[in-house]
Structure 1
Amino acid sequence: MSALDPRRFLYRDALDPDEARRLAARHLSACDDGELYLQYTASEAFAFDDGRLKTADYNTASGFGLRGVTGETTAFSHANEISAAAIDRAAATLSLLDPAKGPAAAAPQRTNQAMYGAADPLSLVPFAEKVALCQQVDAAARARDPRVAQVSVSLAGSWSVVEIVRPDGFMATDVRPLVRLNVQIVAEQNGRRETGYHGLGGRYLYDRLFRPEEWSRAIDMALAQALTNLESVAAPAGEMPVVLGPGWCGVLLHEAVGHGLEGDFNRKGSSAFSGRIGERVAAPGVTVIDEGAIGERRGSLTIDDEGTPTGRTVLIEDGILKGYLQDRLNARLMGMEPTGNGRRESFAHAPMPRMTNTFMLGGQDDPDELITRVPNGIYAKSFGGGQVDITSGKFVFSCTEAYRIENGKVGAPIKGATLIGDGPTVLTRVKGIGNDLSLDEGIGICGKGGQSVPAGVGQPSLLIDGITVGGTAA
């Protein structure tokens, strides 16, 4: 194997591609579906805090996951040793499955479309230059404003090589870069301290993050949020109209609606959207998309972790439920097609239906005009953490930057606001959709079933005529 072939990290002395094919055929041919999943990952992280480098980590990991599926039953085993002997030992788990009763599932379709380059971001930039960038960002942030009391900068990257080997001889390879820069600033004024944050990243090389205009913008955004929060007053409480800002506020859509549209929850009948395809589930004009085939986006994949090419899946169109996000298992059991959403955290995890980049399409409304429609409410510009119950769709989200709306104008910033509601209801209360669709800047992490994967979100400005706001003022 060529010294330039990324697969050299998967196939060394203990295994070669031909043997991988033979092992997959030998152990999985009696199953309805399944694959041998090989992975090598290198990752690093730098944390610069209080003017000095606090941590610098570098890790590599490799291994395989062997999965067999018969009917609704999955047998899965994994190991961090890529060898024929280890795969043979792992195959003992497959004996727990009943023999397949029907024809084996067809292999995924192929495509030559790549969503990102294959170069390794970690090896292209020396260690000292990465530390110097963190130091430069820290110094620049402190020089921005005398109220800056603390700066935290983190830089992270990973490079992963995966190969999916099926019993029918199908093999697919993907090489996945991922980088991210985070800036957090604590500002102090008159004894009060508040925090601001901004991050950016995607499936590209570090060189983009090293551009002064990029990291300077991250500083500006984090500082502006911290200074705004220094002026914040107690948030109001009660049910009121809410205008959501574009971009990152799509995380509410992701949590409150997106998870409920994943195939496994709907096959099992545990989602608020189960059995409702063709029904109106949202206000007219609401169209929700999941698209893993957007170049260099954090949530994008050339192929998912089952070998299915990603694409554009319309989930809700003009308020009507059109489909679900599917991996191979749930699609087969529901009589649907896989959508390229079978994802796993690593070789040590079995795939499940997950979102990639999930967003609502823009509308025709002027975002500023949406605010003029609200006599008394709030404008939420950015969110922090949130929680959602998949069965009911109920959610709670905390706002990291929000403002009062009074007499149709944006007023004072507020602190301590939380949005409380349920996804299905919120979708029906959308009364205005801005023409300013934007995606987040590449910071999303999605958790489900104990697994975390990178994801993207997005939306235009939205006017929702009633959400319960939890605050600290009457």
Structure 2
Amino acid sequence: MRAIVGEARAFAHAAELSEGSIKRAAKVVRAVHAGHNGRMHLGPIVDNKALYISDNPLHGFSTEIKINILKDIDAYARSQDSRVCQVSATLVGSWQAVQIIRTGGQHIADVRPLVRINVQIVVGDGKKMGCGYYGCGGRMTFDRYITSDSWKYATNEALRIALVDLDAIEAPAGDMEVVLGPGWPGVMLHEAVGHGLEGDFNRKNTSAYSGMLGQQVASKSVTVIDDGTLPDRRGSIAVDDEGTSSRHNVLIDEGILVGYMHDRQNARLMGVPTTGNGRRQSHAYPPIPRMTNTYMAAGSLEPEEILRSVKRGIYAVNFAGGSVDITSGKFVFSMNEAYQLENGKIGHAVKGATLIGNGPDLMGKITMIANDMKFDEGIGTCGKYGQGIPVGVGQPTLKTIVLVGGTVN
């Protein structure tokens, strides 16, 4: 239960649905007088556009079947290479039913399935060790992921990355050209740029992008979009957690900042329309501005053309994780699959590489964008103010200049 007046907000939640819990919650939110008389006549549930199935992924497959699949993954991985030391595999599923009642009696409902399969493999040759990870998922049931072809692909990818890591050499260091691969490397866009475009940070003038609407904030070839309406994607929502329909929101258009992501409160305070980005982890948290599926639009170049243009640099295929300071835009990201680029050719795998820079500065240094825009495989979870929510990221292959942290020769 939530009440809002201006910038003030009262929020209460309960773990049970009872008359007593509702009365206690109502007493708490009266701390903020919302100008409502407390009597509400419910209208019919508003129909939402179907973006994904409503089936509960927790049903349909017994625990025994799921355990046997995990055992099969373990046995298959170990049979592929004698250097496999450890296999960790998980099947994760959830089913969230949401009902939202707004002032005036508007009644919105949504049902959100979510599944994910993860495989992590450690390999060793007696002298050194390597680790590889692969995950995938989305708003669907387990059917797509528990077929032998699907989990074998996930296992093979995790093993391939582990073996690449096993033989990798120390990464070089310094300012250099970096080519980011398509898909999951878009997590850097999510962290270094996306969070800075969330409405609450900009209303409070704590973002590196505050007050910059209409200004050039990236190369003219860069267009950034947040879209919660994509079918089956991990970050997709039919409605946000305030009952606003999910939308396709262009944030940066050909390098120009054209919009932020808003929940209802921040949109009202900033005098702009809400964008359907009021999200929360569960009923125990108030909605705040959050991303859904955030990605960079495709360019016109072939990926091979971009790789051939690099005389000395790094090809970052996959990322492990990173952090960003919203106020300054400074970020640090580690790569878990990367290669040397020498005279346009992919060379030896490198390890221990980090990308260090500033989000707005990085966006201005993007010089080439390929036509191979790709979303991640469905593994993203975003944290903000202690809340974790599922998100999607994506981008095409692109080239920029950034400081690489590694080993100085």
TM-score (norm. length: structure 2): 0.96
Q: Find the aligned partners of 2:339 and 2:279 in 1 and give their Cα distance.
A: 37
Q: After the TM superposition, which parts of structure 1 deviate over 6 Å for at least 4 consecutive aligned residues?
A: none
1:350 to 277, 282, 286: 286
RMSD: 1.4
227, 231, 238: which one pairs with 2:163?
227
Aligned to 2:29: 94
Equivalent residue letter for 1:191: K
1:343-422 equivalences under 5 Å are 343-422=279-358
* 1:193 corresponds to 2:108: no
Q: Which runs of 5+ in 1 are unaligned?
A: 1-65, 102-106
Hey, what's the Cα distance between the residues in 2 that align with 1:180 and 1:470?
32
Give the aligned partner of residue 225 of structure 2. 289
The alpha-carbon deviation at position 84 of structure 1 amounts to: 2.3
Cα offset, 1:115, TM superposition: 1.2
The one of 53, 58, 76 aligned to 2:11:
76
Q: What's the offset of the Cα at 1:94?
A: 2.2
Q: Does 1:122 align with 2:78?
A: no
Aligned residue for 1:124, secondary structure, equals coil
1:166 aligns with 2:166: no
CA separation in 1, counterparts of 2:345 and 2:128? Answer: 27
What amino acid is aligned across from residue 82 of structure 1 in structure 2?
L
| 2:310 maps to amino acid | V
Q: Work out whether residues 162 and 174 of structure 1, in 8 Å CA contact, stay in contact via their aligned partners in 2.
A: yes
1:46-445 residue pairs with structure 2 within 5 A? 66-98=1-33, 100=35, 112-445=48-381
Secondary structure at the aligned position of 2:51 is classed as coil
Q: Say whether the 8 Å CA contact 2:180–2:316 is kept in structure 1.
A: yes
Q: CA deviation at 1:458?
A: 0.4
Distance 2:389 2:329 in 1: 21
- Separation of aligned partners in 2, 1:155 and 1:371: 36
User: Any conservation in 1 of the 2:252–2:259 contact (CA below 8 Å)?
Assistant: yes
8 A contact 1:284–1:318 mirrored in 2: yes
SS in 2 for 1:78: coil
Q: By how many angstroms is 1:472 displaced? A: 2.0
Q: Which amino acid aligns with 1:452?
A: G
Find the residue that maps to 2:117 and give its secondary structure. Answer: strand
Contact map agreement 1:110 1:308 (CA 8 A) in 2: no
Specify the alignment match of 1:471 in structure 2.
406
Q: TM-score w.r.t. structure 1 length? A: 0.83
Identity of counterpart residues, as a percentage? 52
Q: Quick one: distance in 2 between partners of 1:135 and 1:392?
A: 46
Of 369, 377, 382, the residue aligned with 1:446 is 382
Asked whether the 8 Å contact 1:110–1:309 carries over to 2, the reply is no
Cα distance in 2 for partners of 1:99, 1:332 equals: 15
- Is the Cα–Cα contact under 8 Å of residues 234 and 473 in structure 1 kept in the other structure? no
SS in 2 for 1:90: helix
Quick one: structure 1 residues 286 and 218, their matched pair in 2 at CA, closer, same or farther if it must change by over 3 Å?
same
> Secondary structure, in 3 states, of the residue corresponding to 2:273?
coil
Cα deviation, 1:181-219, whole Å, max 9, x if unaligned, reads: 000011112421100000000110011111222111111
Instruction: Indicate yes or no: 2:391 matched with 1:455.
Output: yes
Question: After the TM superposition, which of the residue ranges 144-153 and 437-446 deviates more from structure 2?
Answer: 144-153
Distance across 2 between alignment mates of 1:235 and 1:251: 21
Q: What amino acid does structure 1 have at the position aligned with 2:402?
A: I
